[in-house]
Every structure is written in structure tokens, then in C-alpha cells.
Amino acid sequence: MAPMKLPRTLRLDPSDTFVFARAAEPGEWAVSGSFMFWDVAADDLGPKERAALRAGFLGLTSFGWSTLCVVTPVSEAEREVALERLAAHLHEHFGAPTMADARAAAQDEIAFAQGLCDHPEGTVLAVQRSVENGEIRERFRTLHARDKGERHSGSLHAGARAFTFHEIEGDDEISEEVDLLGLMRKDR
């Protein structure tokens, strides 16, 4: 039997803390979170809430937003904790009439999130949401680690980096370093 997997929030840089009103912490179990916008007109949202609508996954610890998630194995106990946390939130903040109703809705959200994880462990997920004819449409993208033997024409090659960093004179601000490959390989 294949291991269960769920999306886990991933922060490659501090941008989520600027983009969203509340950013999820790295490593939270996550769901799509589109239910957060089911009864809200996009025009009534502020810029940070619109950013969450357009491109956010909902972290299940902070109920903050993350631009990216990573496909991660989840134990039955961890899955159950995530489900109960989401059910409590639905009951307390979204008016689910009973905890049983909230659990049923949370189960659907968790099952959908599991369906997004039908990819190898470490696959990075991104979402693009829009409102079309009054309905929320979601499109999900996956990002995979490049095969080390892969060859590219032109200036790109198997050892090319996605990002480069440059020192700027007079910039004494402390910066955060992230090992992208290490994050992809790390057992969680």
C-alpha cells in the first residue's frame, strides 16, 4: 500500500509574510483553502486577501497562507490531527451546525488535498485560482527536481541554478539562506 501524502507548506523566501495578511509557517499540513472564499466577492477583498484567493494554500496550524506546498508522507495520526483541527475551525468560524458536519466537510477537504499529492514525495505544488461566472476555479501546477543527468541547450545545463544571489554594497541586512535541494530531500 502506498504511503498517504498531504501537502505541507513550504517557504523558500520571506515573500509570503509580505504577500498575505497571515502567512502560514513552514511545515504546516495544508489544504487548498478555497472554501475560505465561498461567500465573498473578490472585489470586496483587500489586496492581501485577493493574493490568498489567487495563489494560497491554507496552513492548518496557523490558518495562514502559503504560496507553495511540498508533497509529504503523512501518518494516520498526523492526518487525524489535521482533520480535527480543520473540523474545529469549520465549526467555530464557518458555522457548521455540528462537529459531525464539520468533520464531514473537513474530511472532504483533506481527501481533496491528498488527491493533489498523487506525485512523488518532494514535488512542489502551486495553485492559481480565479473567479469565473461566480465560481472559484483552481488550477494546480507541479514543480519537480531536475534530473541531474538532464542536458539542456543554450546557457541552461544540468547544474544551472534557479536563482542567483548577488551582494549589494551597503546592504548590511541579514539575509536568510535556503537550501532548496536539501528541502526536497529532507525526510519529514
Query: Quick one: pLDDT band at residue 173, thresholds 50, 70, 90?
Result: very low
pTM of the entire structure?
0.77
Predicted confidence (pLDDT) per residue in 6-34, tens digit: 999 999 999 999 999 999 999 999 999 99
* Residue 95 buriedness (CB in 10 A; 0-12 / 13-18 / 19+): exposed
Residue 148 banded pLDDT, cuts 50, 70, 90: low
CA distance 122 to 83: 22
How many structural domains does the chain have?
1
CA pair distance 74, 140, nearest whole angstrom:
20
Taking the CA of residue 107 as centre, how many other CA atoms within 13 Å lie in the half-sphere pointing to its CB? 6
Q: Which residues make beta-bridge pairs with 32? A: none
Domain that holds residue 12: 5-185
Q: What is the per-residue pLDDT across 116-136, written as a single tens digit (0 to 9) for each?
A: 999 999 999 999 999 988 889
Angle, helices 76-93 vs 99-116, to 10°: value is: 130
Give the pLDDT confidence of 75-100 residue by residue, as tens digits.
999 999 999 999 999 999 988 999 99
**How many Å is the Cα radius of gyration of the chain?**
18
Upper half-sphere CA count for residue 99 (Cβ side, 13 Å): 4
Q: Quote the CA–CA distance of 91 and 107 in Å, as a whole number.
A: 13
C-alpha cell at 81: 490531527
